[in-house]
Amino acid sequence: MIEVSIIIVNYNTYALTCACLESIYRHTTGVSFEVILVDNASTECPAEAFTQRFPSVILLKSQSNEGFAKGNNRGLAAAQGGTLLLLNSDTELIDNAIGHAHQLLRHKQREGVAVVTGKLVYPSGEVQPQCGRFPSLSLQLAELFRLQKLLSKHARGRWLLGGFFDHLSPVYPDWIWGTFFCFSSDLLKIFPGRKLPETYFMYQEDLEWCYQLHKHGRKIYYDPRIVVIHHFSGSATNQQLNEQKNKLLRDNLHHFMVRTYGRVYTFLFECLGALNKAIQF
């Protein structure tokens, strides 16, 4: 019986993905698992190179680059585990993070927790601020008037999260990155066709997933005892690709805001954001 299905989407990140796979097999204990690797029509090497090196990997090949959300859904459709883990190809485990997340999820489900995640760090050990609040005018205004300075560092971090939060203590964030996204297979029942929303080719899809979870009364739990190395943007290693990524992030956030809150709200939100950015410089 498979307890955990690990879904990894690969697109031209052979070396990083191999390092990720090696770390899974080296550190994951006390839980039965399968690894489903979805190759999004990579061109750097034949997809079969993964199964030659890791024979137990279940390889799914796409005929074209379908993006992050669709790639994950392709893997989810083939998953047998009761616990599902979306894991970025540019991550590395340093201990039994998957076993810990699986047990923690089972325990926290009694409290309405739908998703469990952990601390993401650069190879240097520096923390990546992945816990966030949903974008809102109230938060933009709070930052504009620097209201956070009236609070202690701890209270400020718990309120605003993001870069204000030290990620050293457990918290229930509004949304998290899809980098290490551990959830029960039963959760897919709330989504049409048992598929995670595929609105975006990549970037901000995790924001939409978490927003839909909150609409259904589910919670997300962050636990800093689960630590995962995240090389971050392993598939975007040059300036041009990073510029494309930043544009996609902005465009997709705008689209999410318009769909969720309307055009007027989005206009005010973006104006406040621009003003905030101008004041910081």
Domains of the chain, residue spans: 4-131+167-235
pTM reported for the whole predicted model: 0.92
pLDDT, one tens digit per residue, over 66-95 is 889 999 999 999 999 999 999 999 999 999
d(CA 165, CA 167): 6
For the chain, what is the total number of helices (H) and then of strands (E)? 9, 8
- The answer, yes or no, to whether residue 200 has pLDDT greater than 90, is no
Cα(166)–Cα(46) distance, integer angstroms = 41
d(C-alpha 233, C-alpha 91), whole Å: 10
Q: Assess whether pLDDT exceeds 90 at residue 35.
A: yes
Lowest mean pLDDT among 71-80, 161-170, 233-242: 233-242
Beta bridge partners of 184: 83
Nearest to 88 by CA among 184, 177, 188, 190: 177
Average pLDDT of the chain to the nearest whole number: 92
**When comparing pLDDT for 75 and 63, which is higher?**
75
Query: How many Å apart are CA 130 and CA 142, to the nearest integer?
Result: 20
Residue 236 CA, chain-centre distance (Å), reads 16
Among the listed residues 252, 238, 263, the one whose alpha carbon sits nearest the alpha carbon of residue 205? 252
- Confidence at 28, pLDDT banded by 50, 70, 90: very high
Is the pLDDT at 235 greater than 60, yes or no?
Answer: no
| pLDDT at residue 236 greater than cutoff 60 | no
pLDDT (mean) for 60-65: 90
Residues paired with residue 92 on neighbouring β-strands, in sequence order: 229
The confidence score (pLDDT) of residue 224 equals: 96
CATH architecture classification, 4-131+167-235:
Alpha-Beta Complex (3.90)
Q: Which of 233, 213, 224 is nearest to 134 (CA)?
A: 213
Helix (H, G, I), strand (E, B) or coil at 185: helix
- pLDDT number for residue 240: 61
Indicate the pairing of strand 33-39 with strand 58-61.
parallel
Residue 149 vs residues 39, 50, 179, 269: alpha-carbon distances, Å:
46, 50, 31, 21
DSSP class of residue 117 equals E
94-103, 140-149, 265-274: the lowest-pLDDT one: 140-149
Measured CA to CA, the distance from residue 127 to residue 226 in angstroms comes to: 12
198 or 100, higher pLDDT: 100
> What burial class does residue 217 get, using C-beta atoms within 10 Å of its C-beta: 0-12 exposed, 13-18 middle, 19+ buried?
exposed
CA distance 125 to 88: 18
Residue 96: the pLDDT is 97
**Banded model confidence at residue 145, pLDDT cuts 50, 70, 90:** confident
